[in-house]
């Protein structure tokens, strides 16, 4: 029913676009405008709306120019964003045209961070990356762990459309932490020559993403922790200096 498009942006960002059969388009995290405008013109798309996951400029920097270019476009995002947009406050769904997205609160990277799910696509911003998760800038480690737990409940066929291309670095870290893990090694081998590794499948993330595996008793025992939160804090602190 929907078609996914990606635009490489800035240093390692992705701007995602979801289109329907009528070539209507929803833009997710427009960090800059010109690549989006060029893509829309090239593919003759009709932009209906913009969804924003959080307030960082590499995810919102193109909004004002896009609104000036497409004056009827609707923009939605969390109230932490200091722009004239439609704030999604305690809303579990947002509908634009015939597009319907589940709105998921995922604090941790920022306090108001949102993710958007339109099966099978999850637009996770800087909360969930392939083989990794976002840094804890404003929230707490417990909030981020709970946010990942929430996302983990989505169907296994969910496709993770993250905000950055960090997979190789994340897997290098995971390999350092668990050098004998066959799932991590095999996945790294499978994507090592790819310039784009997204979207990834949630079913794979459950095997290769250390931050989604902190509940595993064997991992807790290996690193000498007694609960998943302490293990998560350890992994995140180590990744911060990796």
Instruction: Please tell me the predicted confidence (pLDDT) of residue 3.
Output: 97
The reported pTM is 0.96
Instruction: Please tell me the predicted confidence (pLDDT) of residue 131.
Output: 98
Instruction: Please tell me the predicted confidence (pLDDT) of residue 172.
Output: 96
CA distance linking residue 189 with residue 169, whole number of Å? 13
Residue stretches of the chain with pLDDT short of 50: none
**Residue 203 burial (CB count, 10 A):** 11
Instruction: Please tell me the predicted confidence (pLDDT) of residue 72.
Output: 92
Instruction: Please tell me the predicted confidence (pLDDT) of residue 37.
Output: 98
Decide: 171 and 188 in contact? Cβ < 8 Å: yes
Instruction: Please tell me the predicted confidence (pLDDT) of residue 1.
Output: 85
Instruction: Please tell me the predicted confidence (pLDDT) of residue 14.
Output: 98
Exposure of 61 by Cβ count < 10 A (0-12 exposed, 13-18 middle, 19+ buried)? middle
Q: Which DSSP string do the residues of 97-144 spell out, in sequence order?
A: TTEEEEEEE--SSSTT-EEEEETTEEEEETTEETTEE---SSS-HHHH
Decide: 68 and 83 in contact? Cβ < 8 Å: no
Give the pair of three-digit tokens for residue 31. Answer: 């960090």
């Amino acid at each position: 029913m929907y078609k996914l498009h990606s635009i490489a942006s800035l240093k390692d960002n992705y701007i995602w676009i979801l289109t329907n059969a009528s070539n209507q388009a929803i833009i997710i995290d427009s960090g800059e405008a010109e690549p989006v405008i060029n893509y829309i013109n090239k593919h003759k798309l009709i932009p209906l709306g913009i969804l924003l996951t959080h307030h960082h400029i590499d995810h919102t920097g193109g909004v004002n120019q896009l609104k000036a270019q497409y004056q009827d476009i609707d923009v939605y995002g969390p109230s932490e964003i200091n722009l004239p947009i439609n704030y999604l406050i305690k809303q579990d769904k947002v509908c634009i045209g015939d597009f319907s997205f589940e709105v998921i609160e995922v604090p941790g990277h920022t306090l108001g961070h949102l993710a958007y799910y339109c099966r099978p696509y999850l637009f996770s911003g800087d909360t969930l990356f392939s083989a990794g998760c976002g840094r804890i800038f404003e929230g707490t480690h417990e909030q981020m762990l709970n946010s990942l737990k929430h996302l983990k409940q989505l169907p296994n066929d969910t496709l993770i459309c993250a905000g950055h291309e960090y997979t190789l670095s994340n897997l290098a870290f995971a390999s350092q932490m668990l050098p004998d893990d066959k799932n991590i090694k095999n996945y790294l081998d499978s994507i090592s020559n790819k310039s784009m590794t997204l979207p990834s499948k949630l079913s794979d993330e459950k095997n290769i993403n250390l931050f989604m595996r902190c509940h595993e008793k064997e991992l807790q025992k290996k690193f000498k922790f007694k609960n998943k939160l302490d293990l998560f804090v350890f992994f995140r602190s180590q990744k911060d200096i990796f």
